[in-house]
């Protein structure tokens, strides 16, 4: 057989198979470089620095004194830290699922071709772009124990006025209600995008097969909304552990009580009010580890859930 014939039937070389996409990996790294550098210097760097500070006793005025892991041991003997951890966990595991369910329901309701629907969607998103301090002040007026609008509403039904934020029983639920309301807009937009990306043909095929509304939602909508659910869930989880503005505004005047203090406020209180930077850095590292572990668990559970759909 001639050499020309062998060349025609021989498989293309590795270089030939790579084709025009050979340099895509290098170009991707080039375009990602600014973000990666920013993460290294603005995120990874401070995280490592915070761990170094957590091993010291430092008041910002004198030189740091190395104390090893004493700050971490002291935290778990601190009743206020334990209460802050418990309050943050309660806030997270109530606000995240409630917010997700409400935003999904609203997204389904807003996913209609109605006149003026764009204006209604914009109205739901307005709290997201409103200052958290302004939102907190409005809700502080709503929760006012005297003539607050919420007490006026429940008074119509003969229910006695409540103290809300200053009541140990109602304080954290009141903060959760405000936070869920403020964060609905972002989740609704993400769910709307996911719903509008589902082809109508899938619903038509399910209807032809005799599937009812609930069956179409469970068998078509939910599985295809998995990316949106995952995205909203991880953002809500991380954001819930970092709640601060709502507590800072609603719990004033004074300071958050045992019923409202959260981990972020505990870190702020010790770092910027008591000037115990090493102690605050240790608390921030514990918060970082909690969020990291929960995020890993969430990622793993999400993959298994998707696998068994």
Backbone angles phi and psi of 159, in degrees to 5:
-85, 130
237 occurs within a structural domain: yes
pLDDT of the residue at 22: 55
249 occurs within a structural domain: yes
Q: How many domains does the chain have?
A: 1
CA dihedral 164, 165, 169, 175 (to 10 degrees): 110
Write down the H helix ranges in the chain: 3-9, 14-18, 24-39, 45-54, 70-75, 79-110, 117-129, 132-142, 149-156, 171-196, 200-208, 213-216, 222-224, 226-241, 245-250, 263-268, 277-307
pLDDT of the residue at 259: 84
Comparing CA positions, the residue from 275, 297, 293 lying closest to residue 285 is 293
CB 305 within 8 A of CB 255: no
pLDDT of the residue at 15: 47
254 occurs within a structural domain: yes
Rounded CA gap, 93 and 121, in Å?
A: 27
Rounded CA gap, 162 and 151, in Å?
A: 7
pLDDT of the residue at 61: 86
As averages over each run of 10 residues, the pLDDT of the chain (309 residues) reads: 46 49 77 85 85 92 91 94 94 93 90 78 82 84 86 88 86 91 89 90 86 86 88 90 86 69 92 92 94 87 58
pLDDT of the residue at 246: 84
19 occurs within a structural domain: no
50 occurs within a structural domain: no
Question: How deeply is 260 buried, as exposed, middle or buried, from its count of CB atoms within 10 A (0-12, 13-18, 19+)?
Answer: buried
226 occurs within a structural domain: yes
74 occurs within a structural domain: yes
Domain of residue 211 covers 69-307
156 occurs within a structural domain: yes
Comparing CA positions, the residue from 168, 138, 133, 142 lying closest to residue 260 is 168
Question: Which CATH number fits the domain that encloses residue 267?
Answer: 1.10.3720.10
pLDDT of the residue at 11: 52
């Amino acid at each position: 057989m001639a050499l020309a014939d062998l060349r025609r039937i021989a498989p293309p070389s590795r270089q030939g198979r790579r084709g025009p996409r050979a340099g895509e990996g290098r170009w991707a790294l080039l375009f990602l470089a600014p973000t990666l550098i920013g993460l290294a210097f603005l995120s990874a760097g401070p995280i490592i620095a915070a761990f170094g500070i957590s091993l010291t006793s430092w008041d910002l005025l004198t030189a740091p004194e190395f104390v090893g892991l004493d700050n971490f041991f002291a935290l778990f003997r601190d009743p206020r830290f334990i209460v802050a951890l418990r309050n943050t966990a309660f806030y997270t595991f109530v606000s995240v699922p409630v917010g997700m369910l409400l935003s999904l329901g609203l997204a389904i309701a807003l996913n209609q071709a109605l006149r003026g629907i764009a204006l209604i969607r914009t109205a739901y998103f307005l709290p997201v772009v409103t200052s958290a301090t302004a939102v907190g002040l409005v809700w502080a007026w709503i929760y006012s124990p005297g003539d607050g609008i919420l007490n006026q509403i429940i008074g119509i039904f003969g229910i006695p006025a409540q103290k809300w934020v200053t009541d140990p029983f109602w304080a954290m639920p009141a903060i959760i209600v405000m936070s869920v309301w403020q964060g609905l807009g972002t989740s609704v937009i993400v769910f709307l995008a996911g719903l509008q990306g589902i082809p109508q043909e899938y619903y038509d095929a399910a209807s032809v097969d005799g599937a009812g509304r609930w069956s179409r939602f469970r068998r078509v909508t939910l599985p295809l909304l998995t990316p949106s659910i995952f995205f909203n869930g991880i953002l809500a989880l991380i954001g819930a552990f970092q709640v601060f503005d709502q507590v800072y505004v609603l719990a004033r005047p004074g300071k958050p009580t045992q019923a409202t203090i959260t981990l972020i406020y505990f870190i702020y209180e010790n770092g910027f009010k008591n000037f115990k930077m090493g102690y605050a850095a240790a608390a921030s590292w514990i918060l970082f580890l909690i969020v990291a572990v929960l995020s890993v668990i969430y990622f793993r559970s999400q993959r298994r859930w998707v696998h068994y759909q």
